[in-house]
Amino acid sequence: MLVELGGLQHRKYLIKLSEKLCSQKSECGWTYRAKGVLFERRGVGGSPRTGRRLLPVLNECYRLMFDQDTNLLHSITHLQDKRRVRMTQDFWEYHANGDTKAGPISDNYIFTGNSSAVRAYKAVQMEIIPGKVVTEIRQLFFREESDRDYAFSITTRVPECYGSRVRCHRLEQTYSLGPLRLNTEVVLRSSTSLKNNQTVFTDDNGYQMMERKHRMFINNTIARNFFPMVRTAYIADALSRLVLVSDRAHGVSSQADGQLEVMLHRRLWNNLPWNLGYNLTLNDSSVVRPALWLTLGSVNTTSKLHQREAIELQHRPVVMVIDQPEKPRQVKEPRKGSPSLPVVLPPNLHLLSFSIPGWNYSSDHHVHLRRVQSGQELRSEPDYSRVLLRIMHIFEEGEDAELSKPVTINMKEVLQGVGEVKVLEERSLTGTWDIGSLQRWKWKTTNSHETDDKRQQGSAEFNVTITPKEIRTFFVQFEARNF
């Protein structure tokens, strides 16, 4: 079922199961029972001759080819650019030392692999479930060919395009890992034909993309070339870029040309007394299910997409299943007047915060401090007509020709679906100080330029300009009768 939600909106749906078989003329004629195609389990130690039996899975953006001799991904073609990239994805593991007398160890804070990663499986099974809205590819990885239960899995969802809303350029992947063997650290390895010279780009605190070049060291070269990925990482060459966005933080690396490794799970034990005393060994039999969204295309195409994709992954709509009510649902008459409007921002802006502060104090922070220091017992109650709002420009300067430009919006028009805005007051990032009372430090940079720093201070003017990577914070006062 495909539904569409606007900003700060919610919807309720009643799903009923048909008591008889569906026909094209019945109400359930558009629904169907999904049927999958199961492929025989294949070992990885067989014939080196692969790529002879390729199975395509297509949508309007990509052609994915799967190798039936291995049940692994073989290549992805970006149809708009008409460029094919050879690509496989599988699981590898680093073995860690658990004895402090034998050498360096891995624990909560340290990654020290004994040697290069080794393949973590010996057989792969695949099932493809085609659909009208999304096609799902399920790959199960077994440690031994005869194992009954799988150790790892990749589920890839290839969406179809419906209008301009559904993202056909986004390949949604979820994984299952565990329980792991003791003292192993498992990575998802994406091996491609991209010539990236072992250079990976990762985001610094989810804010700025950093170039991470592979370097050689006397000791521990592998671990020292893993870098933090808060939500985005990519590798690229002159023609194409492979982008991964994540729902949680990971460590990433490019240990070989065209490779991108993402550390997904660890299970460790060591005999260091400090770690044993404070339970810092990570020795648990948990199963983790992280998610990554994959985008492949030209540098220009992916630059427009990955910032927004990362935000959409981390702020996915929450689906709540409610039990069937005992009483039959009564259809209410439609409300008079126009329905509430969604909050819609330009594609390069993100509504970072929209909340009611749990306190009620004067906008003049000095007045608030005097009240606190007076020693009187003061009741702090929220002001339900005042909202703390933060807006962020998600693109860096020069990242995209159009989307990296400053944006001017009218806050009263943007928030009209919530209520009638009466006053817009700009604050410091924490919301504590009036922006006009701040004395900011100024830094000299190589390409610094003077900016017009006129800010709203309890203003009735509602036009706001946000520059690349800028976060602006406001108190928004609504008309109480409308909010």
Collapsing DSSP to helix, strand or coil, 412 comes out as: helix
Q: Which residues contact 19 (CB under 8 A, 6 or more apart)?
A: none
In this structure, is residue 7 part of a structural domain? Answer: no
pLDDT value of position 203: 93
What CATH number has the domain bearing residue 53?
Answer: 2.70.98.30
Residues 267 and 415 in one domain: no
| Rounded Cα–Cα distance for residues 176 and 264 (Å) | 9
The per-residue pLDDT for 337 is: 45
Clarify whether residues 121 and 225 are in a common domain.
Answer: yes
Domain final residue, candidates 315, 335, 367: 315
* Domain end position, chosen among 267, 298, 315: 315
Say whether both 262 and 393 belong to one domain.
no
Distance CA 371, CA 362 (A): 10
- Under-70 pLDDT residues of the chain: 22-32, 46-49, 162-166, 324-340, 358-361, 378, 380, 447-460, 481-483
Is this structure's pTM higher than 0.75?
yes
Same domain, 191 and 268: yes
- Read off the pLDDT of residues 66-100 as tens digits, 9 standing for 90 and up: 999 999 999 999 999 999 999 999 999 999 999 99
**Claim to verify: residue 277 and residue 386 sit in the same structural domain:** no
Mean pLDDT, all residues of the chain: 87
Q: Which pLDDT belongs to residue 25? A: 61
CA distance 32 to 35: 9
The answer on 262 and 189 residing in a single domain is yes
299 and 381 assigned to the same domain: no
Residue 168 within a domain: yes
Domain-embedded: residue 297: yes
CATH code of the domain covering residue 469: 2.60.40.1360
In degrees rounded to 5, what are phi and psi of residue 115?
Answer: -160, -170
On whether both 191 and 304 belong to a single domain, the answer is yes
Q: What is the pLDDT of residue 414?
A: 93
User: Is there a single domain that holds both residue 367 and residue 308?
Assistant: no
| 139-154: pLDDT as tens digits | 999 999 999 999 999 9
Domain count, the chain: 2
What residues make up the domain containing 379? 349-437+459-478
Helix (H, G, I), strand (E, B) or coil at 29: coil
Helix H segments across 291-442?
299-314, 365-373, 411-414
User: Hey, what amino acid is at 21?
Assistant: L
* 209 Cβ neighbours under 8 A, 6+ residues apart: 201, 202, 203, 232, 396
